[in-house]
Amino acid sequence: MKRFALALLCALALPSTAVLAQAAPPVTIAPGNTLLTVSADGRSLRTPDLAVFSAGVTSSGKTAGEALRSNAADMSRVVAALKRAGIADRDIQTSNLSLNPVYAPPVQRPDGQYDQPEQRIVGYQANNTVTVRQRKLGEFGRVIDTLVEAGANQVNGPSFQMDEPDAASDEARLAAMTKARARAELYAGAAGLRVVRILSISESGGYNPGPPVIYARMAADSAQASSPVAAGEIQLNANVTVMFELAP
């Protein structure tokens, strides 16, 4: 029994031991040297090549089944319109499917107050939404118009992005690191010191897109020109925090 208890205690101690083994060692510098921590940011600007938006249909019915059947038929037309517009299957993903009851509103009495009867369901509302990646930005406005004509009554977006952002992100990282090093040299020179080495580097950053554009348009407007779209530029940011050791 004692052997079993000892084995169990050793097993329970293993995870904490593993965590301790992975902990970063403390930062140490030579006696008389100085520790300097610098934060700097870098950025790169790019023209986006990808627009992400959502499109969907909200349908109503007296029964749950009626609302779902109506929604399914409408949404099938919307998805078919997306595919006819050149959107690939891999760029269409269901992001929301919901069915909710619709309750009767409260009744207002002649004195202006409202009765609070027991809630009564008078119908149902179904919603189906897909997230779409539009790769041909020049056709974005036409795709939006096509969706509305096909029955979509919810269209939101876009969020402009880059399909392959690694090169632009690396450019921002290089700019941030160059700025951090120059700033460290500036502080060191002002203090009569020199930069000996880098002790640690940590990073944060990402996209900085503009505010999303919200599209809402009735099918009756289909004879007008396509919805205007301006992709502009997106900014990719990188922020680094670097610890330097300074010496006399």
Q: How far apart are alpha carbons 116 and 114 in whole angstroms? A: 6
CA dist 168 → 81, 105, 148, 178, 230 (Å): 34, 54, 35, 16, 21
**Half-sphere exposure (Cβ direction) of 30: Cα atoms closer than 13 Å:** 9
How much is the pLDDT for 124?
A: 97
- Domains within the chain, CATH numbers bracketed: 26-49+164-248 (3.30.110.170), 50-103+120-161 (3.30.70.2970)
* pLDDT band (50, 70, 90) for residue 208: low
Give 226's contacts (C-beta < 8 A, 6+ positions apart): 141, 142, 144, 145
Q: For 11-53, what is each residue's pLDDT tens digit? A: 444 444 444 444 556 778 889 999 999 999 999 999 999 999 9
Give 60's contacts (C-beta < 8 A, 6+ positions apart): 67, 70, 102, 123, 124, 125, 126
Q: For 150-191, what is each residue's pLDDT tens digit? A: 999 999 989 999 999 999 999 999 999 999 999 999 999 999
Give 190's contacts (C-beta < 8 A, 6+ positions apart): none
Angle at 149 between CA 71 and CA 214, to 5 degrees: 85
CB 184 within 8 A of CB 242: yes
* pLDDT band (50, 70, 90) for residue 5: very low
CB 194 within 8 A of CB 246: yes
- 50: its two tokens: 């990808």
